[in-house]
Amino acid sequence: MATTRNKILITGASSGLGEEMARRFAGMGRDLALCARRVDRLDELRAELMHHNPNITVAVRALDVTDHDAVGEVFGELRDELGGLDRVIVNAGLGKGAKIGTGRADANLQTARTNFVGALSQAEAALSIFREQKRGHLVFVSSISADRGLPGAKAAYSASKAAVASLGESLATELSRTDIVITTLLPGFIATDMSAGAGDSAALTATLDQGVSAMVDAIESETRRAALPGLKWRGIDAALRFLPNVLTDRMV
């Protein structure tokens, strides 16, 4: 049975998946450390969570995960404020992008820096804490797009998420005989503001409630790798990874 993690840090918590995960864990009585660039939204979320869950602690900090030094400083401050960290959820990310070579390198580079280099900075900071205390749970929010390089405007995004998934697998292997657990989540289409602008298939898109429920269940069970939500996305995950390109080219 997985260990109960009572002190949880979530990045990218001002909207979408991160915001809803914060609500779920608050409802479970967990103390939270919430980070995002939009600290005004975090303050609003903190007030909401404390109103509904007056017995928990919620600490917030503004954080740009592309600022490596700031990531380490903020994680350390939040650990001290909560009296420790049991779990860090690397969730902050961007979905912007353009066809490579069409003059929008700025969008693609920003996505790559946020999604992968930012995730690496968060892993460095989290594992520095976890190695010192010899325990912890590090969760990477990757994407089903990590399975297969996507064409066009999604190329940089899918590449960045593949890098996150690879990092998660590397660390899971390295730490498999320790009390530091690594989980990599590969969500499919879940209804968020970011997905709304990505042109995702409505027929394949899960509600935010369905998606976050599956994510929280996988996090709580501390599974090593989970494509979600549901059997549909597990099937798509397997197809994208193992079917020949002549077939999967039609799926992306």
The amino acid that residue 89 corresponds to is I
Catalytic residue numbers, as ranges = 157
Q: Are 26 and 218 in contact (CB under 8 A)?
A: no
What residue segments make up the domains of the chain, in order of their start?
Answer: 7-248
pLDDT attached to residue 247: 83
Q: Which residues contact 185 (CB under 8 A, 6 or more apart)?
A: 139, 140, 141, 142, 215, 218, 219, 226, 228
Q: What DSSP line would sit under 116-154, residue for residue?
A: IIHHHHHHHHHHHHHHHHT-EEEEEE--GGGGSPPPGGG
Looking at every residue in the chain, the average pLDDT score rounds to 95
Greatest CA separation for the chain: 55
Confidence of residue 249 (pLDDT cuts 50, 70, 90): confident
Six-digit token string for 110? 């920003």
Q: CA distances (Å), 197 to each of 3, 203, 250, in order?
A: 37, 16, 22
d(C-alpha 119, C-alpha 65), whole Å: 8
Confidence of residue 199 (pLDDT cuts 50, 70, 90): low
- pLDDT tens string 64-87: 999 999 999 999 999 999 999 999
pLDDT confidence of residue 194: 67
Assigned CATH class of 7-248: alpha beta
Is the Cβ–Cβ distance between 161 and 142 less than 8 Å?
yes
- DSSP 8-state class, residue 189: -
Q: pLDDT digit string (tens) for 31-77? A: 999 999 999 999 999 999 999 999 999 999 999 999 999 999 999 99
pLDDT at 28: 98
Identify the pLDDT of residue 2: 75
